Chains A and B, each alone.
Chain A
Amino acid sequence: MTDITNRDHELHSRRRGRNLAVLAACLALIVMLFALTVVKMEGTVGNPSASQAGGWGPEDFAQPFTARDTGGGVPQR
């Protein structure tokens, strides 16, 4: 009976260890994505010329999608 309890305990501690590792991995991923976002946004937020050079910026979303997509004209088929 004691053996079974020990085994049960061992089983749960292994699962707990794994679950904590998954939690740590998820947190690490979140921190990594956050840090990456901060670094990527540096120099573009509040600096329209930087966003023009590097691709999309907030001002791109101010105009209608079709106009942006077709250079201002009517969408062509």
Chain B
Amino acid sequence: MTDATQQTLARSAAAEPELGDFIRLLKPRVMSLVIFTALAGMAAAPVDVHAVEALVALICIAVGAGAAGALNMWWDADIDAQMSRTRARPVPQGTVAPEEARNLGLGLSILSVMMLGVAANWLAAGLLAFTIFFYAVIYTIWLKRATPQNIVIGGAAGAFPPVVAWAAVTGEVALAPILMFAVIFLWTPPHFWALALWRCRDYRDVSVPMLPVVAGSTETRRQIWLYSLALAPVTLMPALTSAGGPIYSVVALGASAIFLRDARRVALRDEAVADADGYRAEKRLFGFSIVFLFAIFAAFIGDAALRLALQTAGVDYVWPIVLGEGVL
């Protein structure tokens, strides 16, 4: 065998993607969060739905989210290669060709939307299609590199899964899923800006206009505090709808108090103090924000399980619904 042949084989072996590379393209961690919030949206909906239909709808939503992730990795391969957090992704690493990532993303997008339309309804399918379009085109291609409000806008894409799930099982959109949307939408900026504060250099190097890069650390800390202030009352509001209950009320109250405390701590610091202790408060806020979202949506599921258990036991259970379930 010639040297040239050996080199060709070595190159092709390196460029031959494994199954795991394709799975990583779908951003499994983001997918798991999407599955969880969508499950909460489904569980909180006041309807009985067949388990198979619910499972298929959930899979479609998860695959749609994965497809959007693959499209994001295709488009952002150039900046991913320069940032330490994203350098090991399959496209910048060279294990998956950009065109393969794009084709996988487009293929799964079409498949998931069509399947959701068939399995559930076309309102849910339309919402899923819009979510994928919003994340891949509006956020990734258009606004991510154009405005420091990129995270605020991108947060909307991540906030859609419970709305899609609710629509999939009820065929309509009501106040409760809109409040779920609002919780994730307002949670996203403090969550990501806490991360961006200590990853600021990465974003500056690749010219992504994240808020700390464009407006500085002080303004970012102020914005984190303002969004956290807005998040707290919105988090409490679903407790007053049919999706709420005693578990949600307690969890929302406790989690919001801790979130506000951590956000206030970040807002009161300056860059010198943060740098001196290795961004401890910022990392704490980032870490707790993940726990916060998990707890909030787990509480929706908890209350749904409680309602079901009491209903099965024949106990008359009435939760005061202050905010009516107006169908939109």
What is the CA–CA distance of A7 and B59 in the complex, to the nearest angstrom? 36
Q: Is B9 an interface residue, CB under 8 A from the partner?
A: yes
User: Which chain B positions have C-beta within 8 A of A39?
Assistant: 50, 52-53
Q: Which residues, 1 to 44 on A, are CB-close (under 8 Å) to B? A: 1, 3-4, 7-8, 10-11, 14-15, 17-18, 21, 32, 35-36, 38-39
What is the CA–CA distance of A8 and B12 in the complex, to the nearest angstrom? 9
Q: Which residues, 18 to 35 on B, are CB-close (under 8 Å) to A? A: 18-19, 22
Beta-carbon contact of A8 and B9 below 8 Å: yes
User: Which chain A positions have C-beta within 8 A of B165?
Assistant: none
User: Which chain B positions have C-beta within 8 A of A4?
Assistant: 1, 6, 9
User: Which chain A positions have C-beta within 8 A of B59?
Assistant: 32
Beta-carbon contact of B12 and A18 below 8 Å: no
Given the known A-B contacts A1-B1, A4-B6, A36-B118, are A14 and B53 also in contact in the complex, defined by CB atoms under 8 Å?
no
Residues of B within 8 A of A (CB-CB), count: 19
Beta-carbon contact of A14 and B17 below 8 Å: yes
- Closest-by-CB residue of A relative to B6 is A4
User: Which chain A positions have C-beta within 8 A of B22?
Assistant: 18, 21
Q: Is B110 an interface residue, CB under 8 A from the partner?
A: no
Given the known A-B contacts A7-B9, A8-B9, A11-B9, are A36 and B19 also in contact in the complex, defined by CB atoms under 8 Å?
no
Q: Which residues, 50 to 88 on B, are CB-close (under 8 Å) to A? A: 50, 52-53, 56, 59
What is the CA–CA distance of A1 and B52 in the complex, to the nearest angstrom? 53
Q: Is B99 an interface residue, CB under 8 A from the partner?
A: no
User: Which chain B positions have C-beta within 8 A of A21?
Assistant: 19, 22
Q: Across chains A and B, which 9 residue pairs bring their CB atoms closest together, nearest first?
A: A21-B19, A7-B13, A39-B52, A14-B16, A11-B13, A35-B52, A17-B19, A39-B50, A14-B18
Task: Known pairs A10-B13, A32-B59, A38-B52; list 10 more (Cβ under 8 Å).
Answer: A8-B9, A10-B16, A11-B9, A17-B18, A18-B22, A21-B19, A35-B56, A36-B53, A39-B52, A39-B53
Residues of A within 8 A of B (CB): 1, 3-4, 7-8, 10-11, 14-15, 17-18, 21, 32, 35-36, 38-39
